[in-house]
């Protein structure tokens, strides 16, 4: 979440039970191969295999699998800054070739929380904007504001078979003093946008409520949104109208820390989900918690391990989770997944820290679906 960086002390001190800072000792699953690429996403892959990435405020492309990059554009938009931390923006190239960017305006970023009243101060601001290019990134339209007030990291921007664009985002409601999620849809390649209904799961605190959604299409035409919570599991929300409104909302049963995940629909038809579970592998109960101003009720804060699971039935059931990577006493969070080729997955972390808030390089690995899901599972 974007204001975590402002509240670094809260991050280090608010996770009870964490050990003192140690040297980073990264463990990777034997089926994971480290990627030697300079960026950790998000990427957009074109039909010829070319990769696109936004490097802070510049669009770049690679024709050699991400090893080398060249600039396609100058600076794209005021306040756009897609760096190594979190998910402050997402972009997509539509099937008609339009590049659409939805992002947080980091140039006017102000986070301020009143601890006595447990509410955001009036000056809180991190606005959500959209901008588009119809010539491959050479020139860009005037940007348009989608959501004023304070918003934060989001993981969802997809194009449906109909051509509709769907962005799932979060918003800090100043009256509720918690996060809510909603979606924006565009049926004209990002020229105009309409927002949907608010999803509110209750709570109070600067990390509480319905947080940091990601989204994937299902086989029956519905959309499935995964919502981060402080309740020890993700919640599901379903849309039957192409992402405008979300009518069915329920607990997923997926054990989770208070941290976002990433869902992707693969060429095989399976869903893949990458996230932080609520407790270390083999532990009977969570060992670290968010508390204080972050959550009304203490929430699991385990981020030392990043896990993966697959679903053959649109999220009704999942394979047993497998730990992909482990950073003792650290954080491997805010994952990103790209299906580079059918069954070939790139998984990266966009929030990688050692205990006490010391940043570490992002982790970037390649793995193959077949090594984690056997035929018939």
Please tell me the pTM assigned to this model.
Answer: 0.93
What pLDDT is attached to residue 11? 33
What pLDDT is attached to residue 359? 81
**Pair of tokens at residue 97:** 């070739």
Domain count, the chain: 1
Nearest to 353 by CA among 65, 84, 124, 93: 84
What pLDDT is attached to residue 357? 62
> For residues 341 and 66, what is the distance between their CA atoms, to the nearest angstrom?
14
3-state secondary structure of 319: coil
Asked whether residue 377 is assigned to any structural domain, the reply reads no
Asked whether residue 76 is assigned to any structural domain, the reply reads yes
Asked whether residue 45 is assigned to any structural domain, the reply reads yes
Asked whether residue 376 is assigned to any structural domain, the reply reads no
Nearest to 230 by CA among 295, 277, 293, 185: 295
pLDDT tens digits, 218-254: 999 999 999 999 999 999 999 999 999 999 999 999 9
* Contact yes or no for 320/139 (Cβ under 8 A): no
Helix boundaries (H) for 46-165: none
Nearest to 155 by CA among 325, 335, 300, 309: 335
What pLDDT is attached to residue 25? 82
Asked whether residue 230 is assigned to any structural domain, the reply reads yes
> For residues 156 and 154, what is the distance between their CA atoms, to the nearest angstrom?
6
Asked whether residue 203 is assigned to any structural domain, the reply reads yes
What residues of the chain score a pLDDT lower than 70?
Answer: 1-24, 84, 355-357, 375-377
Nearest to 79 by CA among 102, 57, 49, 46: 57
pLDDT tens digits, 315-339: 999 999 999 999 888 899 999 999 9
Which pairing describes strands 289-290 and 322-326: parallel, antiparallel, or unpaired?
unpaired
| Cα R_g (the chain), whole angstroms | 19
Asked whether residue 113 is assigned to any structural domain, the reply reads yes
pLDDT tens digits, 286-305: 888 887 888 989 999 999 99
Residues 6+ apart with CB under 8 A from 338: 41, 42, 43, 45, 264, 345, 346
What pLDDT is attached to residue 377? 45
**Domain of 116?**
2-371
CATH of the domain at 114: 2.120.10.10
What pLDDT is attached to residue 83? 75
> For residues 335 and 105, what is the distance between their CA atoms, to the nearest angstrom?
21
**Pair of tokens at residue 178:** 């918690």
Asked whether residue 357 is assigned to any structural domain, the reply reads yes
368 cis-preceded (ω within 30 degrees of 0): no
3-state secondary structure of 3: helix
Sign of CA dihedral 19, 23, 24, 25: negative
What pLDDT is attached to residue 118? 94
């Amino acid at each position: 979440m974007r204001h975590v960086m402002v509240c670094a002390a809260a991050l280090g001190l608010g996770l009870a039970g964490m050990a003192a800072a140690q040297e980073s000792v990264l463990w990777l699953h034997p089926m994971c191969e480290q990627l030697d690429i300079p960026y950790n996403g998000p990427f957009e892959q074109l039909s010829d295999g070319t990769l696109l990435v936004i490097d802070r405020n510049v669009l770049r492309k690679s024709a050699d699998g991400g090893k080398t990059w060249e600039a396609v554009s100058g600076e794209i938009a005021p306040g756009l800054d897609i760096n190594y931390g979190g998910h402050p923006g997402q972009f997509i190239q539509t099937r008609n070739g339009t590049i659409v960017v939805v992002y947080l305006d980091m140039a006017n970023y102000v986070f301020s929380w009143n601890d006595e009243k447990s509410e955001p101060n009036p000056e809180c601001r991190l606005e959500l904007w959209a901008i588009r290019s119809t010539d491959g990134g050479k020139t860009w339209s005037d940007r348009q504001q989608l959501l004023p007030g304070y918003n934060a990291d989001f993981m969802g921007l997809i194009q449906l078979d109909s051509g509709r664009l769907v962005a799932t985002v979060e918003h800090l409601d100043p009256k509720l003093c918690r996060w809510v999620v909603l979606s924006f849809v565009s049926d004209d390649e990002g020229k105009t946008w309409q927002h949907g209904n608010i999803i509110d799961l209750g709570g109070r605190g600067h990390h509480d409520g319905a947080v940091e959604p990601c989204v994937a299409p299902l086989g029956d035409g519905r959309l499935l949104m995964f919502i981060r919570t402080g309740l020890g599991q993700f919640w599901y929300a379903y849309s039957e109208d192409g992402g405008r409104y979300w009518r069915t909302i329920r607990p997923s049963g997926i054990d989770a820390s208070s941290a976002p995940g990433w869902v992707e629909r693969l060429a095989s038809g399976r869903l893949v989900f990458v996230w932080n579970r609520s407790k270390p592998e083999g532990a009977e109960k969570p060992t670290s918690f968010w508390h204080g101003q972050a959550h009304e009720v203490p929430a699991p804060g385990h981020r030392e391990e990043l896990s993966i699971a697959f679903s053959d039935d649109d999220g009704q059931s999942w394979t047993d989770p497998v730990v992909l990577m482990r950073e003792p006493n650290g954080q491997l969070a805010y994952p990103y997944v790209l299906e580079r080729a059918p069954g070939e997955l790139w998984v990266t972390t966009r929030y990688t820290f050692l205990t006490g808030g010391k940043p570490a390089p992002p982790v970037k690995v390649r793995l193959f679906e077949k090594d984690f899901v056997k035929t018939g599972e």
